[in-house]
Amino acid sequence: MRAFWGALPTEGRWLLSTVAIQTLGRGLTLPFTLIYLHEVRGFDLGLSGTLMALIAVVGFLVTGPGGALTDRYGARAVLLTGTAAMIAGNVLLAFATTPALAAAALVLIGFNFGVSWPGFNALIASVVSGELRQQYFGINFALVNLGIGVGGVVGGLFADVGRPATFTTIFLADAASGLIPMALLLGPLRHVHGRAAAPADGSAAPATVGYLAILREPAVRWLTLLTFVGTFIGYGQHEAGFPGFARQAAEVSTRTIGLAFAVNTAIIVVLQFAVLSRISGRRRTRVMLVMAATWAVSWALLGLAGLAPGGLAAATGVIAFMGVFALGETLLQPTVPAMSNDLASDHTRGRYNALTAAAFQGGAIAGPVVAGFLLQHDLSAVYIGLMVLGCAAIAVVARVLERHVSPTVNGMPSEPAALGEGSPA
């Protein structure tokens, strides 16, 4: 960690030093927004769920424009706009007494979610490069989990449906946490604009490179598909499929589910540094193969928990699932963003990151829908089988992807090489 910190430029240190504090505000509200809408504001459960879906849907819709704006006007400008929308959304949500006001607030939050991913990843890529970039994405992921995890614990202890003012407080605290990145971007990072710079010969000006042109690259198509499948069987199941299976099939308590999420966060925070050391200099596609195998084991453990419902074995299986799954997450998060940014050229970085973000959000939308349908129809065995099959699909896609990227993009040490099919256009 000392070596990594010493190698970071000053701008990278500023970006990384406040990540956990910034995301603590998100952790305060993330697990409790549905509870707030339903139990505090009195919206029916179906309407509350629909309102919550606005975050993902709006995020998906604005990701493409967000990536293009990042390339045209710079990551800093996009991030400032998105953060301002997030602050306004949380303040509005804190006092939203009608569905219309709540919807407007969640649209603002979703807008920030959609434009900030390509903007933030592009800003990171403009500051750090090479192997340091992969390490940065991994450590950033661990700190995000730490902030959200601590925020969730604090929010759980503080928020009380019998005292609506406590929910107002946590949403205002979430809004206040957005002032930290704004202060960084307006202060010590005001010169790091991350603006797109087209080649001097004008051969590929930002305005002329569209998403269809980028998707014509085989490496981009396969990486986008891998991201979608990985999210569908991974993060797309965190808020719906996993809790639903744990309650209906494994019949464990909500306390056990909460403990499982805590174990997930702890393992990510504890192991991410060691994992980064182990995967350094190795082919990223091979790391994805290990991730796929790890996730297949985790889903098998959850399936076994459903065979002995309601007892200690079920609780152990549910917790073990989240622990093993977390190990796979530490392999995924450093590799996919780093590969996407290594494929991109400087003037298209926003759009490359937007494609990855759109694939992630698409998986996050489709995952709960499929899980809800299967679990509602008592097809828990089919559900687990589909998840394991998804892990196998990741392995196949990773092997194909390997044939379309250069060794450098695939995480191998830099060395002189002719441009290949996987090289940036």
Residues 141 and 273: beta-carbon distance below 8 Å: no
**Mean pLDDT, residues 257-281 taken together:** 86
Number of neighbours of residue 419 by Cβ within 10 angstroms: 9
CA-to-CA distance for 289 and 292, rounded, in angstroms?
A: 5
Task: Look up residue 141 and give its two tokens.
Answer: 């992921």
Question: Is residue 93's pLDDT more than 90?
Answer: yes
By the 10 Å C-beta count (0-12 exposed, 13-18 middle, 19+ buried), 196 is classed as: buried
Task: Look up residue 248 and give its two tokens.
Answer: 């209906």
Q: What percent of the chain is modeled with pLDDT above 70?
A: 93
Tell me the domains of the chain and their CATH numbers.
15-139+158-194 (1.20.1250.20), 213-414 (1.20.1250.20)
Instruction: Write phi, then psi, for 321 (nearest 5 degrees).
Output: -55, -50
CA-to-CA distance for 203 and 146, rounded, in angstroms?
A: 43
**Mean pLDDT, residues 330-351 taken together:** 85
CA-to-CA distance for 53 and 361, rounded, in angstroms?
A: 11
Question: Is residue 357's pLDDT more than 50?
Answer: yes
**pLDDT, tens digit, 9 for 90 and up, residues 95-124:** 999 999 999 999 999 999 899 888 888 888
Which of 393, 390, 381 is closest to 303 using CA atoms? Answer: 381
CA-to-CA distance for 140 and 184, rounded, in angstroms?
A: 16
Q: Which residue has the tokens 């010969």?
A: 201
Task: Look up residue 386 and give its two tokens.
Answer: 């589909």
**Mean pLDDT, residues 386-392 taken together:** 96
Contact residues for 312 (Cβ-Cβ < 8 A; gap 6+): none
Contact residues for 389 (Cβ-Cβ < 8 A; gap 6+): none
**pLDDT, tens digit, 9 for 90 and up, residues 181-211:** 999 989 888 887 666 555 555 554 554 578 8
pLDDT of residue 425: 30
Contact residues for 120 (Cβ-Cβ < 8 A; gap 6+): 75, 79
CA-to-CA distance for 38 and 41, rounded, in angstroms?
A: 6
Of the pLDDT bands very low, low, confident and very high (cuts 50, 70, 90), residue 414 is: low
CA-to-CA distance for 140 and 292, rounded, in angstroms?
A: 22
Q: For the chain, give the mean pLDDT.
A: 86
**pLDDT, tens digit, 9 for 90 and up, residues 284-314:** 999 999 999 999 999 999 999 999 898 899 9
Of the pLDDT bands very low, low, confident and very high (cuts 50, 70, 90), residue 424 is: very low
Instruction: Write phi, then psi, for 8 (nearest 5 degrees).
Output: -70, 140
**pLDDT, tens digit, 9 for 90 and up, residues 241-258:** 888 888 888 988 877 887
Which of 21, 24, 47 is closest to 34 using CA atoms? Answer: 47
Fill in the amino acid letter for 233. Answer: I
| Local structure of 230: helix, strand or coil | helix
| Local structure of 163: helix, strand or coil | strand
CA-to-CA distance for 207 and 317, rounded, in angstroms?
A: 51
By the 10 Å C-beta count (0-12 exposed, 13-18 middle, 19+ buried), 246 is classed as: buried
Of the pLDDT bands very low, low, confident and very high (cuts 50, 70, 90), residue 422 is: very low
Count of residues in the chain: 425
pLDDT of residue 144: 86
Number of neighbours of residue 378 by Cβ within 10 angstroms: 11
CA angle 230, 236, 237 (to 5 degrees): 105
pLDDT of residue 200: 52
CA-to-CA distance for 400 and 125, rounded, in angstroms?
A: 25
Residues 78 and 70: beta-carbon distance below 8 Å: yes
Of the pLDDT bands very low, low, confident and very high (cuts 50, 70, 90), residue 223 is: very high
Residues 251 and 315: beta-carbon distance below 8 Å: no
First to last CA, the chain: 34
Number of neighbours of residue 37 by Cβ within 10 angstroms: 25
Per-residue CA distances from 397 to 219, 304, 343 (Å): 10, 27, 17
The radius of gyration of the chain's CA atoms, rounded to the nearest angstrom, is: 21
Question: Is residue 230's pLDDT more than 90?
Answer: yes
CA-to-CA distance for 106 and 92, rounded, in angstroms?
A: 9
Q: Which residue has the tokens 């697990």?
A: 31
Number of neighbours of residue 311 by Cβ within 10 angstroms: 13
Question: Is residue 84's pLDDT more than 90?
Answer: yes
Contact residues for 99 (Cβ-Cβ < 8 A; gap 6+): 43, 47, 51
CA-to-CA distance for 276 and 111, rounded, in angstroms?
A: 32
